[in-house]
Chains A and B, each alone.
Chain A
Amino acid sequence: MDSKSNAALRTAEPLAEAGTTSGLKRQDSEQPTSPTRNAAQTSEAPRRLQTGWLKTMGPRYLVRIAALIVAVLLWELASTRGFNFYINFDNIPAPSVVGSALITELTGQEFYLHILHSLERVAIAYLLAVIIGVLLGVAMGRSRWAEDIILPYIELLRPIPAVAWIPLAILMLPTEQSSIIFITFLGALFPVILNTVHGVEQTNGVLVRAARSLGASRTAILWHVVLPGAMPSIVAGLAIGMGVAWFSLLAGEIISGQYGIGYYTWNSYTLIQYPQIIIGMLTIGGLGTLCTLLVRKGCNPLLKWQAKGGRS
C-alpha cells in the first residue's frame, strides 16, 4: 500500500506543479493590503489536489492489483498443470502450497528469528554506511584534496559485486557476523557516498554568497546552505543504499551464517524445501521494500520545503 502511494506521488507531481503556478500568477498582481486572502488561496490548493489524486490514481491502483492477481493465477495454473516448455514449473510449488507453508512458518518461532537476525545486520551495516558515507561524501564535495584521494578507491571498488567480497571478508574479519555486516556495509556505502558528493557539488553559488553577506561562517554555510541543498540527493542515496544493503546482506548470508533470511532461503534449497525458497525470496523482497520506504518516509521532514511547490 505504501509503496504504491509513493509511486503515485511521483506521477501526481505535474498536477501539483500546475496548481502552484496558477496560484503564483494570481499572486503576481499582488495587493499588499490583502495578504490573508492570498494565504487562503494557497491553503486551498492541496485539498483540491488530494481529491483529484484519488480520482485519477484510484483506477490505476485497481489495474495494478489486478495485474498481480493475474500473475498469481497464471503461476497457480502453471504449477498444478506442470507447465514445461523451456521454462519448467514441474518442481515449482503453486501459490496455494506456498501459502499454506507460510502459515506453518508464521506459527513457528524459527522464521522470526531469521528475520530478526537479518534486520539486526542490516541495521548495523546501514547505520555505519550512512555515517561514514555522508561524512566522506561531504568531505569529497567540499575539498578537491579529499575527492582526489578518495575517488580512485571508489571507482575501483564500486563495481565489485558483494558476492566477490565473501572470501576476503571471511579472511579479514574475526567473526562470521562481522563478515556479513562488512559485506552489507560495502553495498550500502557507495550509493550514499556518491549521492552525497553529487548533492554537495551542486550547491547553489548565489545562496552561498547570500549567506556570506549575511555574516555566515564556513561552518554555518555548510550547515545552513550546503547540507540542506544536498539533502534531496542524499535522501535518494540513502534509499538506494538501503536496497543495495539488502541484496548484499543476502550474498553474505547465503555463504556463511547460521540465521538470517538469506541463510533460510539457501538452506531450504539444500534441504529441498521448495515452498520455503519462495517464502524466503518474497520475505527478502518485502523487507527490502519496507525498509526503503521507511527511509524515504523518515527523511520526508528534511524535505518538506520541496513538497509545497515545483520551483526551487
Chain B
Amino acid sequence: MNEALANDNRLAVLDHSRLQAKSGTPGAERGRISVRDVDIVFDTASGPHTAVENASLTVRPGEFICLLGPSGCGKSTLMNTIAGFVTPSSGEVRVDGVAVTEPGPDRGMVFQQHSLFPWKTVKENVAFGPLMSGVGSQEANSVARTFLSLVGLAAFENAYPNTLSGGMQQRVGIARALANYPSVLLMDEPFGALDAQTRIMMQENLLDIWREFRNTVVFVTHDIDEAVFLSDRIVVMSASPGKIIADIDVDLPRPREQSLLTSPEFMALKRQCLDLIRKETLNAFKQQNRAG
C-alpha cells in the first residue's frame, strides 16, 4: 500500500543537482558523444573481420538516438566502443571531449537480459554503482530505494532477480544504470527479449524516466517501431561491413504515447526506414550473388 503511494510522487526524490540541465546553460550540459572515423576490425579464425567501417557520429547532450540495423551490422559493437569495452582499430570516440579508453560510471549500460547480479537482491544490485563510487552503504541504499521507486519496483527491493519477470528485471537494470546519474545511457536491445505488451509499456516507462533525466541515450535496436517511437534521431546501419547509411530526424512531438504508433507521421517515418533498410538489404544480396 505504502509503496503504491510512494510511486506517485516518485520523481520528487531524485537529486536534481545531478540531473541534466533542462536547457540554456550550455556549459552545464553533459553527455556529448563524438565518434570520428572509427573502424573496428576483429581477428577471427578465418582472418580479419571488419565489424564497423568508417563510422562518424555526433550525439548532442540530452539527445535520444537509436542505432537501427539488421543483426550483425555492428551496431552493438559501435555502442560498445562508446561504452569502452571495445577499442577501435582506428579513429576515436570522445565523450564530453575526453577520449574513451575504458568503461566508466559516466556511461551507464543496460544489457539485453540476465545482467543483474543474481546473488544480490534487487536493492543491492541498484546500490552497487553508488557503493563503487565511494559513498557509504547507507547512502547507497537510499539512492537505490529512490531509483527502485522510479521504476515502480520499491516493493521488490529484497527479492532476488531470478524471482522477477523479464520485464521487471530490465527495469531493475535501468534503475541500476541510472543510479550513478550517468551523462550517457547506453542500451543494448534492452527490450528485445520481452513480449510485445511488456515491451510497449517499458518503452513508455523509459521515456517517462528520461524526460526527468534528460541525459544522452544511445539505444541499439533492430525494431523499426521501437526506434521511431523512442528516438529524436535514428542512425541506420547496414551489415557487413557495418556502416552508417542514414541519419533520420524524428520530429514527432513529445511526450509520446502508444496512440502515436498508428498516426500518419509515425507511418511515414517507419516507411522511410523500411525503404532504406530494404534497399540496403537488396544491395547486400546483389553483392553476395555477384561474389558467388
Considering only residues 150-194 of chain B, those with a C-beta below 8 Å from chain A are: 152-156, 159-160, 162-168, 176-177, 180, 186
Query: Which of chain B's residues have a CB closer than 8 A to the CB of A24?
Result: 164-166
Tell me whether B117 is interfacial, beta carbon within 8 Å. Answer: yes
Query: Which of chain B's residues have a CB closer than 8 A to the CB of A214?
Result: 105, 108, 128-129, 132, 176-177, 180
Query: Complex formed: what's the CA distance from A23 to B164 in Å?
Result: 9
Known contacts A33-B4, A209-B109, A210-B115; A42/B132 CB under 8 A: no
Query: Which of chain B's residues have a CB closer than 8 A to the CB of A32?
Result: 7, 152, 201, 205
| Residue in chain B with minimal CB distance to A27 | B165
Q: Which candidate, A53-61, A264-272, A303-311, is the interface stretch facing chain B?
A: A303-311
Query: Complex formed: what's the CA distance from A231 to B118 in Å?
Result: 12
Query: Which of chain B's residues have a CB closer than 8 A to the CB of A220?
Result: 132
Check A35–B128 contact: CB distance below 8 A. Answer: no
Check B119–A305 contact: CB distance below 8 A. Answer: yes
Query: Complex formed: what's the CA distance from A229 to B154 in Å?
Result: 26
11 contacts between A and B (CB under 8 A): A30-B165, A30-B201, A206-B115, A211-B117, A213-B107, A213-B109, A214-B105, A214-B177, A216-B132, A305-B118, A309-B163
Measured CB to CB, the closest approach of chain A to B222, in angstroms, equals 19
Tell me whether B263 is interfacial, beta carbon within 8 Å. Answer: no
Check B129–A42 contact: CB distance below 8 A. Answer: no
Tell me whether B83 is interfacial, beta carbon within 8 Å. Answer: yes
Known contacts A209-B85, A210-B111; A30/B132 CB under 8 A: no
Measured CB to CB, the closest approach of chain A to B274, in angstroms, equals 29
Query: Which of chain A's residues have a CB closer than 8 A to the CB of B133?
Result: 215
Measured CB to CB, the closest approach of chain B to A237, in angstroms, equals 18
Query: Which of chain A's residues have a CB closer than 8 A to the CB of B152?
Result: 32, 35
Tell me whether B291 is interfacial, beta carbon within 8 Å. Answer: no
Check B4–A35 contact: CB distance below 8 A. Answer: yes
Tell me whether A149 is interfacial, beta carbon within 8 Å. Answer: no
Query: Complex formed: what's the CA distance from A20 to B159 in Å?
Result: 13
Tell me whether A158 is interfacial, beta carbon within 8 Å. Answer: no
Given contacts A34-B4, A211-B132, A309-B160, 15 further A-B contacts (CB under 8 A): A30-B198, A32-B152, A35-B3, A36-B3, A207-B117, A209-B83, A210-B117, A211-B128, A215-B104, A224-B120, A225-B117, A228-B117, A305-B118, A305-B160, A310-B162
Query: Which of chain B's residues have a CB closer than 8 A to the CB of A211?
Result: 117, 128, 132
Ordered nearest first, which 9 A-B pairs have the shortest CB separation? A215-B105, A309-B162, A35-B155, A228-B119, A27-B165, A213-B109, A214-B129, A32-B152, A215-B132
A1-38 vs B: 1/0 string, CB under 8 Å? 00000000000000000001001100111101111101
Measured CB to CB, the closest approach of chain A to B223, in angstroms, equals 19
| Residue in chain B with minimal CB distance to A36 | B155
Tell me whether B262 is interfacial, beta carbon within 8 Å. Answer: no
Query: Complex formed: what's the CA distance from A206 to B116 in Å?
Result: 9
Known contacts A35-B154, A214-B105, A305-B160; A312/B129 CB under 8 A: no
Query: Complex formed: what's the CA distance from A231 to B120 in Å?
Result: 13
Check B162–A312 contact: CB distance below 8 A. Answer: yes
Considering only residues 220-238 of chain A, those with a C-beta below 8 Å from chain B are: 220, 224-225, 228-229, 231
Query: Which of chain B's residues have a CB closer than 8 A to the CB of A225?
Result: 117
- Say which residue of A29, A35, A212, A311 sits within 8 Å of B162 (CB atoms): A311
Query: Complex formed: what's the CA distance from A216 to B104 in Å?
Result: 9
Query: Which of chain A's residues have a CB closer than 8 A to the CB of B155?
Result: 35-36, 38-39
Q: Report the interface size class on chain B.
A: 35 or more
Check B153–A213 contact: CB distance below 8 A. Answer: no
Measured CB to CB, the closest approach of chain A to B68, in angstroms, equals 22
Tell me whether B195 is interfacial, beta carbon within 8 Å. Answer: yes
Query: Complex formed: what's the CA distance from A28 to B170 in Å?
Result: 12
Query: Complex formed: what's the CA distance from A229 to B164 in Å?
Result: 19
- Say which residue of B4, B7, B195 sits within 8 Å of A28 (CB atoms): B195
Query: Which of chain A's residues have a CB closer than 8 A to the CB of B28?
Result: none
Query: Which of chain A's residues have a CB closer than 8 A to the CB of B104?
Result: 213, 215
| Residue in chain A with minimal CB distance to B153 | A35
| Residue in chain A with minimal CB distance to B151 | A32
Query: Which of chain A's residues have a CB closer than 8 A to the CB of B180?
Result: 214-215
| Residue in chain A with minimal CB distance to B134 | A215
Query: Which of chain B's residues have a CB closer than 8 A to the CB of A207?
Result: 115, 117
Check B168–A213 contact: CB distance below 8 A. Answer: no
- Say which residue of A39, A224, A309, A310 sits within 8 Å of B128 (CB atoms): A224
Tell me whether B70 is interfacial, beta carbon within 8 Å. Answer: no
Tell me whether B45 is interfacial, beta carbon within 8 Å. Answer: no
Check B168–A30 contact: CB distance below 8 A. Answer: yes
Considering only residues 178-207 of chain A, those with a C-beta below 8 Å from chain B are: 206-207
Tell me whether B241 is interfacial, beta carbon within 8 Å. Answer: no
- Say which residue of B103, B159, B164 sits within 8 Å of A213 (CB atoms): B103
Measured CB to CB, the closest approach of chain B to A66, in angstroms, equals 38
Interface centre among B102, B119, B167 (most CB of A within 10 A): B119
Query: Complex formed: what's the CA distance from A231 to B177 in Å?
Result: 25
Query: Which of chain A's residues have a CB closer than 8 A to the CB of B118?
Result: 305-306, 312
Tell me whether B114 is interfacial, beta carbon within 8 Å. Answer: yes
Tell me whether B1 is interfacial, beta carbon within 8 Å. Answer: yes
Query: Complex formed: what's the CA distance from A42 to B83 in Å?
Result: 36
Tell me whether B197 is interfacial, beta carbon within 8 Å. Answer: yes
Known contacts A24-B165, A211-B128; A224/B117 CB under 8 A: yes
Query: Which of chain B's residues have a CB closer than 8 A to the CB of A38?
Result: 155-156
